[in-house]
Amino acid sequence: MRAIRRVLLSGITFLALAGCGESKERKTTLDIKDVPPDIMKVAKQNLPDVTFTTAWKKANGTFEVQGKNKNGKIREIDIRPDGSVEEIE
């Protein structure tokens, strides 16, 4: 009986640890002035009321640009190298 419990507990622990990890995607921090102008244009077109202050370039080439809107809410947009929008938060 103890062996069965041990196996079940080990299996549950493994599944919990395997499923709870967040992706450790590599990102490089950029100065906002170093974001390509065409990427910033897309960001401003999609989030016109946001003042962008922070940017990252992901390992896959996607740019993540973050800022605050007039109400102070943090907004973020992910833009692929081809200029298409991946995600807006």
DSSP 35-84: S-HHHHHHHHHHSTT-EEEEEEEETTS-EEEEEE-TTS-EEEEEE-TTS-
pLDDT band at 5 (very low <50, low <70, confident <90, very high): low
Tens of pLDDT, residue by residue over 37-85, are 999 999 999 999 999 999 999 999 999 999 999 999 999 999 999 999 9
C-alpha 72/C-alpha 45 separation (Å) is: 19
pLDDT score, position 15: 52
Note whether 11 and 39 are within 8 A (CB). no
Dihedrals phi, psi of 33, to nearest 5 degrees: -70, -15
Note whether 41 and 84 are within 8 A (CB). no
